[in-house]
């Protein structure tokens, strides 16, 4: 751990309007407001987390920002990524002078934009590339990959790889049968001891080794710490891209 990345200085209870686990890590220059950070979650230098939940082992890289977002476990957010940022109203003017006292002193206090209450949902085991933008209200399924500088304006299915502006599905990481098994077993919700055993047995270098291990788990054990975002991210219907997915084996405020 570097000097710029120290454990958050609190006891794991409420700190102001934040709830930050004692094993979470917050680097220098970060801003946190009204948010929750679970165990081993990390904010790297100058990251911002506002009205959001950052799941266990997930991290926001330097300069990234999440607003009104629910982020799952083991999710990686690259530098300069924006998730669920505010959207100005455009009913009449695009400016905020009639909403925020700080925008010229026309009003007292502040009021929300009409879409401020809409939340953005990011699943577990998601990788969001550098400088990606994910629009407010989007749901990104478990295991998805968002390419660098992509602009995501619609929901992303589990294990899809999306790229471009606007982002589109380029391919799927695994075939449909493998995706189904991963969504049923939900390795990211397994007890830490089980994940440690998987690390010790080196199942993470080959999807076939991972699948073989998951098939040995009792049904009651797999996914026993079920997340709260299942209905939004699991069980999407098969798409034409599914048939093209390769059988993979490889080693290696404002």
Output the tens digit of pLDDT for each of the chain's 254 residues: 333 444 433 333 334 489 999 999 999 999 999 999 999 999 999 999 999 999 999 999 999 999 999 999 999 999 999 999 887 877 888 888 878 888 888 888 877 777 778 899 999 999 999 999 999 999 999 999 999 999 999 999 999 999 999 999 999 999 999 999 999 999 999 999 999 999 999 999 999 999 999 999 886 444 444 444 444 455 443 433 343 444 444 433 44
Q: Alpha carbon 177 to chain centroid distance? A: 24
**In the annotation, is 170 catalytic?**
no
Predicted pLDDT of residue 5: 42
Specify the pTM: 0.80
Rounded to whole angstroms, the Cα distance separating 8 from 91 reads 42
d(CA 17, CA 20): 10
Structure confidence at residue 141 (pLDDT) = 98
The per-residue pLDDT for 233 is: 52
Catalytic entry in 10, 88, 95, 250 = 88
Predicted local distance difference test score (pLDDT) of residue 7: 40
SS3 82: strand
Containing 231, the helix (H) or strand (E) segment is helix 230-233
E strands, 72-159, are 76-77, 82-83, 120-122, 127-128, 133-134, 139-140, 145-146, 151-152
Question: In the structure encoding, which two tokens stand for residue 113, read together?
Answer: 């934009």
| Residue 212: per-residue pLDDT | 94
Chain Cα centroid distance, residue 113: 23
Between CA 179 and CA 242 the distance in angstroms is 10
Phi, psi (rounded to 5 degrees) for 136:
-55, 135
């Amino acid at each position: 751990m570097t000097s710029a990345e120290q454990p958050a200085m609190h006891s794991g209870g409420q700190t102001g309007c934040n709830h930050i686990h004692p094993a979470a890590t917050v680097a220098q220059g970060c801003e946190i407001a009204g948010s929750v950070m679970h165990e081993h979650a990390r904010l790297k230098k100058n990251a911002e987390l506002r009205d959001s939940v950052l799941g266990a082992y997930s991290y926001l890289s330097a300069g990234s920002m999440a607003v009104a977002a629910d982020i799952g476990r083991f999710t990686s957010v690259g530098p300069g990524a924006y998730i669920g940022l505010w959207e100005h109203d455009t009913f009449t003017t695009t400016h905020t002078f009639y909403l925020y006292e700080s925008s010229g002193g026309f009003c007292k206090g502040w009021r929300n934009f009409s879409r401020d209450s809409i939340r953005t949902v990011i699943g577990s085991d998601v990788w969001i590339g550098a400088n990606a933008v994910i629009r407010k209200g989007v749901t990104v399924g478990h295991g998805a990959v968002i390419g660098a500088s992509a602009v995501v304006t619609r929901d992303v299915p589990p294990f899809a790889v999306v790229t471009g502006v606007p982002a589109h599905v380029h391919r799927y990481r695994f075939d449909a049968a493998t995706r189904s098994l991963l969504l049923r077993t939900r390795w990211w919700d397994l007890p830490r001891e089980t994940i440690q055993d998987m690390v010790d047995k080196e199942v993470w270098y080959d999807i076939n080794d991972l699948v073989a291990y998951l098939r040995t788990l009792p049904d009651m054990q797999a996914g026993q710490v079920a997340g709260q975002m299942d209905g939004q991210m699991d069980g999407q219907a098969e798409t034409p891209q599914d048939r093209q997915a390769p059988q993979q084996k490889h080693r290696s405020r404002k």
